[in-house]
Amino acid sequence: QVQLVESGGGLVQAGGSLSLSCAASGDIASISLSGWYRQAPGKQRELVATVDTNGIKRYQDSVKGRFTVSRDNAQNTVYLQMNSLKPEDTAVYFCIAIRFGADYWGKGTLVTVSS
């Protein structure tokens, strides 16, 4: 089992920045992919950004150039730096880790961007 705990959400004005962190614990060896999804009210959960063990990063088109995902293996933590935030970025952000084909999720952290 992998446990994931997100932190760093909050309220920010449009154009501002927030940084999210996700600390992993438990059976963290061989996590092949880490990253972030989000779910806005009334919408489906969607991919935001992921990074694999080779350092290859993938972003949703709407966040490219504004968000940066990174992974610190020594700290077992994945980060999401969010700049130039927009009201449409408002959502609950979930951390994900994939290990041997199984996906693990954090409980989420709320990001609210006011206009």
Q: Which two tokens stand for residue 82?
A: 């969010």
pLDDT for 14? 98
8 A C-beta contact, residue 50 and residue 95:
no
Nearest to 36 by CA among 13, 59, 8: 59
Indicate the helix (H) or strand (E) that contains 94. strand 91-99
pLDDT for 29? 84
- What tens digit of pLDDT does each residue of 48-57 get? 999 999 999 9
Beta-carbon contacts of residue 42 (< 8 Å; ≥ 6 apart): none
- What tens digit of pLDDT does each residue of 59-75 get? 999 999 999 999 998 88
Distance, in Å, from the CA atom of 65 to the CA atom of 28, rounded to the nearest integer, reads: 29
